Structure 1
Amino acid sequence: MQQVTVRYFAGARAAAGVSEESASAGRSLDELTAELVQRHGERLAAVLRVASFLVDGTACHDRRTPLPAGVTIDVLPPFAGG
């Protein structure tokens, strides 16, 4: 089975309970996030609603494009700071 790697940062890591995991490739970011919510619950869903996503280091603006095998998706929640 073809896979993608999902890496969580800051609050996303706390909500997921893991720093990294694998998921099936070939689905869109919207489909992937739905699967991640099923795995980890509403706490992660709240983070994913406001998070930014990088696919192999590039911001993902089209959440319906299929994710190819082997890519890394970084989940970046909003960061506080000043």
Structure 2
Amino acid sequence: MASVTVRYFAGARAAAGRAEETTTAGRSLDELLAELAERHGGRLVSVLAVSSFLIDGVTCHDRQQPLPAGATIDVLPPFAGG
């Protein structure tokens, strides 16, 4: 079955309890995020609500478009610092 890789950065990594995971392709980003929220719980839900998402290094503008097989989705929470 085709899959996508989800990579977590900074606070998203801490909330998910892992740096990355693999899941099924063919769903939209919104559907994927709902699955991840259910899988990891409230702390990750809070982080996902304020995060940006890259699909193969490009900012996601259409969260309803199916994710292509083999794609890498980066979860980027807001970063602090200067």
Unpaired segments ≥5 residues, structure 2: none
Q: For this pair of structures, how many residues does the alignment match?
A: 82
Counting aligned pairs with the same residue, the percent is 74
Match of 2:39 in 1: 39
SS of match in other structure, 1:65: coil
C-alpha root-mean-square deviation of aligned residues, in Å? 0.5
Match of 2:24 in 1: 24
Could you state the TM-score of these two structures normalised by the residue count of structure 1?
Answer: 0.98
Could you state the TM-score of these two structures normalised by the residue count of structure 2?
Answer: 0.98
Match of 1:7 in 2: 7
Give the CA deviation at 1:50: 0.5
SS of match in other structure, 1:5: strand
Structure 1 position 81 matched with structure 2 position 81: yes
Give the CA deviation at 1:10: 0.1
